[in-house]
Amino acid sequence: MERTVEVHAYHGWGMHGDFWAPLTEVLPDHVFLKPADHGYFGGEFEPEFSEEVESKVLFLHSYGVHWCPIEKLEEADTIVILNGFDSFHPLSNPAKSRSRKILKGMQAGFKDNPDKVLEAFYRNCFGGNEFRMPDLSWKNRSLLSKDLAALHKTKLKLNKRTIANWIIIDSSSDKIVPGARGVELVSLTGSDKYYSVKGGDHAFPASNPQECAMILSKALPIFEAK
């Protein structure tokens, strides 16, 4: 079957391109998913859209919203944000103060024992679902630390040339970005498609790919099986 929809997928902090493997397996055959990789554990990769493809789509998970190149945002027809955020910290206290305290604790712990911090982070991302850790024998500690610090001051990069169709998906049981933060993105992007996954965790696209694919097919015809 001809692949008419091409998806470039950007993972969050502490993840890598294989994060998208479970979702790739359940998407329709005409959808071609190319995972970008930020290089936290080697293998840095930035995909390019094929010239002949009909629909250009971005999947942005969590911090992937912020390391995806702005030029890619301008090029895409459709942008799907999954458990993403504008400001990582909530806008008001006490939630804001608590979030800042937790992140600073992660930063301090990462300096002494990065593997322990990453393992705890994965457990929180996946909730009670099974997961597989990346190979921690080599990691870009500098980049991981830099991006962890950057979470204190995140701001979604948009300009007038970003005219894509936006889909915002939140998870109600997200322990990393709690509190329906996607609602803020609805206002910023002008999206008319917002979904909240009851009981979903932060790693929802990987931990429950079937439900993720179902939401995508409901949101846009291009994700329906042919």
In the chain (226 residues long), the average pLDDT of successive 10-residue segments reads 92 98 97 98 96 95 97 94 96 93 98 98 93 94 98 85 86 92 91 94 97 96 89
Residues 132-176 pLDDT 10s? 899 999 999 999 999 999 999 999 887 766 678 999 999 999 999
Token pair of 136 as six digits: 């921690």
DSSP 8-state assignment for residue 92 = S
Tokens of 72: 């890619």
Note down the domain range covering 159.
Answer: 5-223
Contact 133, 114 (CB under 8 A): no
pLDDT of amino acid 161: 61
- We report the CATH number of the domain holding residue 55 as 3.40.50.1820
With the C-alpha atoms ordered 206, 211, 216, 217, is the resulting torsion angle positive or negative? positive
In degrees to the nearest 10, what's the CA dihedral of 137, 140, 142, 143?
A: -140
Q: How many helices (H) and strands (E) does the chain have?
A: 9, 6
Question: How much is the pLDDT for 1?
Answer: 67
* CA-based radius of gyration for the chain: 17
Residue 216 one-letter amino acid? L
Instruction: Return the pLDDT at 8.
Output: 99
Measured at the CA of 137, the angle between CA 105 and CA 153, to 5 degrees, comes to: 35
Strand intervals (E) in 14-147: 31-35, 55-61, 78-82
Task: Please state the pTM of the whole predicted model.
Answer: 0.96
The count of domains in the chain is 1
First and final CA of the chain: distance in angstroms? Answer: 10
Strand partners, 31: 5
Q: Which residues pair with 170 in a beta bridge?
A: 196
Report yes or no: 76 and 56 within 8 Å, Cβ to Cβ.
yes
